[in-house]
Structure 1
Amino acid sequence: MTSWRSDGYGWAIDRQKPLSFTFDGRQVSGFDGDSLASALLAEGVRTVGRSFKYHRPRGFWGAGAEEPNGIADILGAHHRPNVQMTTEPAGDGIVLRSINARPSAESDRNAFMDKFASFIPAAFYYKTFMFPDWHLFEPRIRAMAGLGALEPEAEGFSPTAPANAFCDLLVIGAGPAGLTAALSAAEQGRHVILCDDQRLVGGSLLYREARIDGQPGRDWAAKIVPRLEELGARVFVNTVAFGRYEHGMTGLAEHVGNGRAPRLWRVRATETILATGAIERGLPFANNDRPGVMSAEAGLHYLIRYGVAAGRKVVVATNNGLAYETAAALSQAGIEVTVVDLRSESSPGRQDFRVIQGQIDAVLGRRSVEAVQLASGERLAADVVLVSGGYTPTVHLYCQAQGKLRWENEIQGFVPDRNVTGLTVIGAAAGHFNLAAVLADAARATSGAVPSSEAPNWPLEISGAWPAPAARGRIWIDLQNDVTAKDVELAARENFTSVEHLKRYTTLGMANDQGKTSNLHGLALMAKLTGRSIQETGTTTYRPPFVPIPLATFAGRRGGQLMNPVRRLPLEAEHRADGALFREYGGWMRPAWFGKGGEAVEVPREAVAARQSVALFDGSPLGKIEVIGPDAATFLDFIYYNTMSTLKPGRCRYGFMLTEQGIVYDDGVLVRLDENRFVVSCSSSHVQGVLGLLEEWRQDRFDRARVLIHDATARFATLTVTGPKSRALLEAVGLGVDLGDTALPHMALAWGQFGAERVRVTRVSFTGDRSYELSIRADRALGLWRALKEAGRGFDAVLLGGEALMILRAEKGYIVIGKDTDGRTRPMDLGVSGPFEKKRGEYIGRRSLHLPAVADQARALVGLESVTGAPLPAGAHAIVRDGASKRSIGFVTTSHFSPNLDRSIALGLIEGGAERMGATVELYHLGQTLTARVTPTCAFDPDGERLHG
């Protein structure tokens, strides 16, 4: 393939601004306006990559997003793997590395894989590497898999903040159809957004000959943009519409350059018009993957736009009339052209190039195109074969919106079959390939005027050309994933005839290009093999994204603190002054312990002092979500596993929230302030999740005017006073509350006063000792905390960190959601079966709890006592043995050394735990075997006397 720059062509490049970059170490020259692909083609680079499985040499096929072969890594500070060179602008100093090739695309040491192709057909992995053990082969297979390679030291993309946009009309595609539709709608006063994945608007007008409204097509297109902007429309270039989602939302990725990730736009439009064009297909013949076999439209594109002639002796193989425009343009540029037209009847008229009615049987040449062999036996010398097997309308977004397709024989392609609300498909995407018809279609979609147009009349007049069963040679269907016609035939023989099964069995359409040029050939061959029509065979499911989108685009600036910001206590500075060591708990920075003696010293000290005297604990992160309204009680009955509507004002009740699968999601105390006002006190780490759950079900099942939800977690601080001397300490502070058992029993609340601030005093406990939670405005909490510390000096009060609190709650058998529960823990496993047996009203998860399979999952939370006294490791599995095999019957969820009991304690979820009480179980952990005795969960003060002491 001896390509070069052709004088008189290449309007898109500036020859006064040269640039250079490297590809696999080779210096490549180009000009401002070039794509990486056009610059490489102009330099005569033939092999730009290697195929995925067989490492066969691959050259450029297309000129846009349909390209399956021309993919490379951009190295450097802003490393970018798997860049499509046909859509990436050339830049001075870029360092390109071919993918899936070592050391280079031109000379790949793994090219020997192709010699074993007959032994490694489709699905051979599934059949070959199961015996004796997949893990013996996995490391080497994984090392060879993949395409581009990540550079761990590279900076990668700089984040770009996502954005939202709203409009009356979103037009996707800025070719002649999209421009006409956008201008017509904008002139009618509609708010329009127009986007296109190219750097310049115009679509096919950028390389096809046309005049619109008396102007050259490119000039007409260029003048539309400022006119649209005058009318208030927004025009996004270099922006790909990659996905269509619920409620009319379209995802756009705007390429902003400068090492930044493409910006995510979430566009919600009243109406969307798809003017996305069509993708040219190849033709089936042997060795159709050789470098130098290209799309005919791509050949025209590179010549007109970049001035790059793909070769000196070009064969144009076609089954339709549109390829003649490419042949005519190449001939006019002084290139020797021969058209091989497989149609039995075609009337191209008088041309300056040779036309042969026939078809290519095979491409000849070991590393690139050297000649073609026709079915007639004639041999034609060639360095490039430009192929046009028809056009596939780009209906991806239409199908993502649940649109259905219809096979259209006239164009040999699928077209939209029915209307989708809020979505209209026009132009080539709807199967129109004549310019006048395209413009008329666009005008009709927006009730506008039809622009006048002139263009060469190259009628499509297509004749179907699909792979034939049992054809000679290796006919390549998916160029990147090395799927051949024989692979499709193998899938049919093994009964993988569903298109979805075919895709997964052969990997057809699973490469970067997602089958844009290959899928239809594979489906057509399967149709022939199974005696069905292409319509009956159907297509695979279209899913976003339309082209690969960097994950950094979806993440945006959500990284580090912006992804998961550390939440801080109102009293953090005070705690630090008191010697607190902080750790992260559920997204909050909280004191783990106080003092400089270290965990082994300070945590036991705090746990013992809390039992002996009184402890002060900052529980501000506990959820405080208010549920208000006349239907609040009914709503909470539905939300909670427990019945909450019978709770009296001024009282509290412990309860569970479940998922729809009946799994325990959160636990906590519900406080009823008055008849129509509740406070949901949920786990610190679950505040946002519980808030979302409440809002979801409020909007789904309840009158939103009768149930209101307000998250007051950040507004209030919660300070806990716990221990035998807690009542005495609070009386010394003087909140004006009667703290006696009659006036304020356990699980009740009262209102007190601290200075000018009102304080809610709730008597609840997470330690098993008498405890009070004081809720006060967060900005007033410091004064109360200091008053508690000052009064506490007379009672030997201790500041309590999170680690000691975990010991205290474990001594009582109190659970922590996510630690003592897993993804299948139901309330009955935790000993709470009353609502399951008695509650008749509907609640979240009720149906799932009553499924027959639930009864077979009888587990119970139990205590575990080490028989030898050695600590039991959290996560250790309780096992039963059956000969040489072991079966897990549960695991240790919590394990601590209790300084108050002077022994290790543990909790575990054990199968049949209630029936095993007093028995021993064998534990297995990292090759170590231990023995534990099953005990009740409460190891300290089992009668609960200290709760009222």
Structure 2
Amino acid sequence: MTGYRLPHGGARIDRSDTVAFTVDGRQHFGLAGDTLASALLANGVRVMGRSFKYHRPRGLMAFGVDEPSALFTVTTDGVREPNVRATEIEIFDGLAVESQNRWPSLDTDLMAVNQLGGKALAAGFYYKTFMGPVIGPLKGTRFWMVCERFIRRAAGLGRPGTAPDQSRYERMNAFCDVLVVGGGMAGLHKAVEQAEAGKRVIVCEIEPHWGGGADAKNESEIRRMVDLLQSHPQVTLLPRTTVWGFYDGNTLAATERVTDHLRTAPEGAARQRTWTIRAGHVALATGALERPIVFAGNDRPGVMLADAARRYAAAFGVLPGRHLTVFTNNDSAYATALALREAGANIRAIVDLRAEIGDAARALADRAGGRLLTGYAVIGTKGARGLTSVSVARYRHDTQSFSGSAEQIETDALLVSGGWSPVVHLASQAGAKPVWDDDLQAFLPPESRGPWSAHGAAAGDLDFGAGLSPSPAPVFEIRHPGKAFVDFQHDVTADDVRLAHREGFRSVEHLKRYTTLGMATDQGKTSNVPGLAIMADALGKPIPEVGTTRFRPPYTAASLGSIAAERFGDLFPHRLTPMHDWHAQNGARMYAAGHWDRPESYNRPGETVEQAYFREARTVRTGVGLVDVSTLGKIDIQGPDAGEFLNRVYTNGFAKLAVGKARYGLMLREDGFAMDDGTTWRLAEDRFLMTTTTANAGRVMSHLELCLDVHWPELRVHVTSVTDQWAGAAIAGPRSRDVLAACVTGTAVDNDALPFMGIVHGAISGVPVMICRLSFSGEMAFEVYCGAHHGTHVWEALLEAGKPFAIAPYGLEALGTLRIEKGHVTGAEIDGRTTARDLHLDWMLSSKKPFVGSAMMDREGLTDDARWTLVGVVSRSGEKLKGGSHVVAGDRDDPGPSLGHLTAMAFSPEMNAYVGLALVEGGANRIGQHLFATDPVRTGTHIPIEIVSHHMVDPKGERMHG
């Protein structure tokens, strides 16, 4: 046993309360207040993980969020949460965790044979080893295709589960004048200052306790400040809360661990809560992280960051070993050595890379005891599954070499301090470029500016005690034979960084991706600066010229459960139409369409989806069908200049549209490409109702607001989204007018009263409705709108009135079939790359007025006859087409270049064939050509097709105009 519990000390633990927990099914005991890390350390457990690539045994290295190796899977009621740091797991009776990335066990991992791979497993080995063709029995097959499944099985660390998570999660929105990130001394002082100035303050602290890494001598001051803040009416304190994202507009994301530390959560309590915080000002008091030094064997269990050892002793009364050695390049480790000596540790030696140290550091060394070896370096470590000794030798800075013979020091814990890195992650996310500080040999946030500021250690204000300097020696690596690790989580060595340099990966971003340095849960917390220093040395440049990676959210892992919160049960949150319950109760097969749940089809017993939509589409073509169109975007446009406004945003004219009439309109983006289409109804001289496609409702609304706020603020117009205020149903088919005549009161619905694109107001079953005659299906059709709360009532009334005409509801699949047959476009064709001419909508481009996009739509590239244009396709073999298939001219063995792709497909009951729409190069000139729809990756199909007009059914529009 090495680590052990001290008989005294431990500010966070309750020695009267013993807690039982299991690791890999084996029971251990800790004390209330322990983390999994401190409890295992107290139990003498040295190996807490296996490294990613080499499966080397790894022990505890850090105290908090910077721990790279001691990762476990928490198993709760069959739910698995992988890659949780032992330092962040608060133990409770019944806690069960599993170690990761080992087989069959943590102590005996057969995958450790990977250590024999040597240079074969160096950086980028998977790019170089498994990509070449192999001769022999695998001739013609890429070796990767054979090895991929084995590699993927070995990759990764923790294994997620498949059981549904029954925990409850919450979301919160909060607003404050000042958000303080970090509850250490600097953060608490800032919070008190702002609270006393009358500001609304939120303080987030990642740990359960306040004060950060402050010494015990500050305990009374910490308690005073926390008491003051807790009693202040405008202050919210959030312990166990990690701020992990800094976004535009001073919006920050944080996750609060509400009941993770409890065996049983109170009824109704959330497990975690995601906070979206909008702050007037953000005070970053995120502290600084101690860095390791890169040397051979620096990953052996028992090698730990020096300040982490101090904090385990102070917080939990635990030491990492009986006989401790300190290895440092800066003064902070001397205060740490003395603190550990006073806690009861035996300090064997302090090894300092610097030949000369200050009087204050030397005085602390004398009090800490042990040998003081200045001008020495640790060049290696020994021990099977844990440290037993270290090798030290005299170090020459000028030549980075050693003199004299190496000396062995028996020790079971080596505490390393390679300097400190202020936590700049959130500042970087806010857009700040970190600035190199030569004195601290670290990157700092730039000077506080605008909506955020940095404070305390996060700003480089490091205070280790009277007379102790915060400046480390600029030595990040001790070059000596043996594996010297830079990134402990991904097994990235110093040699890997140099190999990346030799192979041409000189940019820090390329270095990161080629070697995986600083990826996954580590995010460069311990590895970033040492890795950059080694790359800078290889380039012969100073570190600031090499630069640093820009950090992005999340700062540390955030659970998907907390982000989704109450929105669960499907991949995306969905909106429901007013008639949703009716659909669900009447056999609808629901389908996620963007943010909406919509009926895909109404399957009768024994019907497949295809059989159902064939039937539904045929019903519309021959009789009458009813479809829910409540999801269409609806925007109320009012004001004296409303007509002029629409004239400017649509390509065709709207200013002279008569009241009681609707018109089909097309919008372009400013660059001349199509943006959206829909119909707009004139309800009064100064009022219009615009409808948009479901997918583009939000985009169009934003576009209109931009036009009014920025381009034409002089126009007297107001726009309001009313999508949720109206329920909509489209009744379509040759008998649709008969159904309306049977149930509409207060207005006639014959051709004189309600011609094509006409609007009438009446009632259905006592509910006021607005009806417009327009068609997306190609048949005679009418859209019926009513207040959303009356949607189901009107829907049922229409179905009741339609019974004599065999009316049937139809879903998205049938709707898609009808529009494909007719050649009507949707977002599949208006995809941001097509123009009005590409879609045969150039008849809508007015030559009498300017409009958004008119100045750019006639550019040479947008009028080229060879552009992809809309066509119809018909399967000549009867095979089912696949949306997204490429259109080619050649056969399967030599298909030739892609001429375009299928945007949509369906089986057409009208044509008794599989048909589709496609965007094809020079499409207008290819009508009648026989080509192929090929999909070699997904289905391996190569289907003969004929190019036809996109108007495959009723090209003259006689049905919908009749």
Report the TM-score when normalising by structure 1: 0.88
Deviation track 1:384-442 (CA, whole Å, cap 9, x = no partner) reads 1111111111222222222233333332222333232122222122222227xxxxxxx
Maintained 8 Å contact 1:9/1:307:
yes
1:509 is aligned to 2:518:
yes
- Decide which of 224, 236, 245 is 2:238's aligned counterpart: 236
Cα distance in structure 1, aligned partners of 2:912 and 2:549: 64
Q: Does 1:187 align with 2:205?
A: no
Query: 1:20·1:93 contact (CA, 8 Å) conserved in 2?
Result: yes
Q: How does 1:786-805 map to 2 (within 5 A)?
A: 796=805, 798-802=807-811
Match of 1:343 in 2: 354
Give the SS at the match of 1:161.
strand
Q: Distance in 1 between matches of 2:660 and 2:945?
A: 43
Does residue 38 of structure 2 align to residue 38 of structure 1? Answer: yes
Contact 1:594–1:799 under 8 Å retained in 2: no
With over 3 angstroms needed to count, the CA separation of the structure-2 counterparts of 1:157 and 1:201, relative to structure 1, is farther
User: Residue 378 of structure 1 aligns with which residue?
Assistant: 407
Within 5 Å, give how 1:114-513 maps onto structure 2: 114-132=115-133, 133=142, 134-153=144-163, 155-156=164-165, 158-205=167-214, 208-210=215-217, 217-232=218-233, 233-258=235-260, 261-332=271-342, 333-346=344-357, 347=359, 348-349=362-363, 350-351=366-367, 352-357=369-374, 358-376=376-394, 377-434=406-463, 458-460=468-470, 462-467=472-477, 471-513=480-522
Q: What is the rounded CA distance, in whole Å, between the counterparts of 1:243 and 1:509 in structure 2?
A: 17
The whole-number CA distance in structure 2 between the counterparts of 1:755 and 1:25 is: 66
Give the Cα separation in 2 of the matches to 1:512 and 1:108.
23
> Structure 1 residues 653 and 942, CA, compared in 2 at 3 Å: closer, same or farther?
same
Post-superposition offset of 1:339 = 0.9
1:933 aligns with 2:946: yes
Paired AA for residue 7 in structure 1: P
Cα distance, 1:339–1:722 mapped onto 2, change above 3 Å: closer
1:88 counterpart letter in structure 2: I
Q: Residue 654 and residue 198 in structure 1: after superposition, are their counterparts in 2 closer, same or farther (change >3 A)? A: same
Give the CA deviation at 1:290.
0.9
1:103 is displaced (CA, Å) by 2.0
Structure 1 equivalent of residue 62 of structure 2: 62
Distance 1:156 1:256 in 2: 16
Q: CA deviation at 1:300?
A: 1.0
Q: Structure 1 residue 944 and structure 2 residue 960: aligned?
A: no
Q: Deviations over 1:570-614 (max 9, x none)?
A: 4965x899x775544743444945977957888666656655565
The TM-score normalised by the length of structure 2 is 0.87
Query: Which residue in the other structure is 1:442 paired with?
Result: none
Note closer, same or farther for the CA distance 1:85–1:774 as it changes in structure 2 (3 Å cut): closer
Match of 1:95 in 2: 96
In structure 2, the CA distance between the partners of 1:179 and 1:851, relative to structure 1 (3 Å rule), is farther
Partner-residue secondary structure (3-state), 2:529: helix
Partner of 1:536: 545
- Residue 663 of structure 1 contacts residue 845 of structure 1 at CA under 8 Å; is this kept in 2? no
Answer whether contact 1:261 1:552 (CA < 8 A) is retained. Answer: no
**How many residues were matched structurally?**
917
SS at match of 1:404: coil
Amino acid at match of 1:484: T
Contact 2:617–2:815 (CA<8 Å) still a contact in 1?
no
Q: Give the secondary-structure state (helix, strand or coil) at the position aligned to 1:411.
A: coil
Task: Please give the alpha-carbon distance, in whole angstroms, between the structure 1 residues aligned to 2:452 and 2:793.
Answer: 61
Q: Which residue among 659, 677, 683 is the counterpart of 1:673?
A: 683
Q: 1:646–1:122: structure 2 CA closer, same or farther, 3 Å change rule? A: farther
Contact 2:769–2:786 under 8 Å retained in 1: yes
CA distance in 2, matches of 1:701, 1:684: 26
- The range that moved more, 823-832 or 337-346, is 823-832
Distance 1:63 1:677, change over 3 A: same
Give the Cα separation in 2 of the matches to 1:185 and 1:678: 50
State the alpha-carbon separation in 1 of the partners of residues 560 and 537 from structure 2: 39
| 1:636 Cα deviation after fit | 3.5
Paired with 1:883 and 1:687, the residues of 2 have a C-alpha distance of 41
d(CA) in 2 for partners of 1:758 and 1:858?
A: 47
Structure 1 residue 200, shift from structure 2 partner: 1.0
> Secondary structure of 1:324's partner?
helix
Deviation of 1:885 (Å): 2.2
Deviations 1:117-175 (A, max 9, x none): 2222112222222212232222111111111111213x437242211222222222222
Whether 2:91 is the aligned partner of 1:74: answer no
Secondary structure, in 3 states, of the residue corresponding to 1:74?
strand
1:70–1:921 distance in 2 versus 1, CA, 3 Å: same
CA distance in 2, matches of 1:789, 1:277: 66
Residue pair 2:775, 2:781 contacting (<8 A) in 1 also: yes
Residues 885-910 of structure 1: CA deviation (Å, up to 9, x unaligned): 22443445555555555666544443
CA contact (8 A) 2:817 2:907 kept: no
Deviation track 1:826-858 (CA, whole Å, cap 9, x = no partner) reads: 433321234569587352697588473784862
Secondary structure of residue in 2 paired with 1:54: coil
Which letter maps to 2:391?
Answer: Q
Is there any run of 5+ residues in structure 2 with no aligned partner, and where?
134-141, 395-405
Partner-residue secondary structure (3-state), 2:331 = coil
The amino acid of 1:390's aligned partner reads: G
Distance 1:792 1:186 in 2: 67
Contact 2:433 2:550 in 1 (8 A): no
Shift of the 246–791 alpha-carbon distance from structure 1 to 2, 3 Å rule, reads closer
Quick one: which amino acid aligns to residue 277 of structure 2?
A: V
- Provide the rounded CA distance (Å) in 2 between the counterparts of 1:321 and 1:731: 91
Q: Is the contact made by 1:569 and 1:590 (CA closer than 8 Å) also made in structure 2?
A: no
**Which amino acid is 2:325 matched to?**
V
Structure 1 residues 853 and 337 mapped into 2: Cα distance closer, same or farther (>3 Å)?
Answer: farther
Report deviation, 1:194. 1.7
Query: Over aligned residues, Cα RMSD in angstroms?
Result: 3.5
Partners of 1:617 and 1:558 in 2: how far apart? 27
8 Å contact kept, 2:601–2:612: no
**In 2, distance between residues paired with 1:315 and 1:645?**
84
Moved more, 470-479 or 560-569: 560-569
Q: Give, in angstroms, the shift of residue 874 of structure 1.
A: 5.6
Q: Are residues 866 and 334 of structure 1, via their aligned partners in 2, closer, same or farther at CA, if it must alter by over 3 Å?
A: closer
Aligned-partner Cα distance in 2 for 1:359–1:758: 86
SS class of match (2:356):
coil
The answer to whether the 8 A contact 1:654-1:668 is kept is yes
Encode CA deviations 1:174-209: one digit per residue, 9 max, x unaligned: 22222222222222322222221111111222xx25
| Whole-Å separation in 2 of the counterparts to 1:901 and 1:223 | 81
CA contact (8 A) 1:331 1:353 kept: no
Residues 782-791 or 165-174, more deviating: 782-791
* Structure 2 contact 600–813 (Cα < 8 Å) conserved: no
- The secondary structure found in structure 2 opposite 1:399 is helix
Which 10-residue stretch deviates more, 775-784 or 349-358?
Answer: 775-784
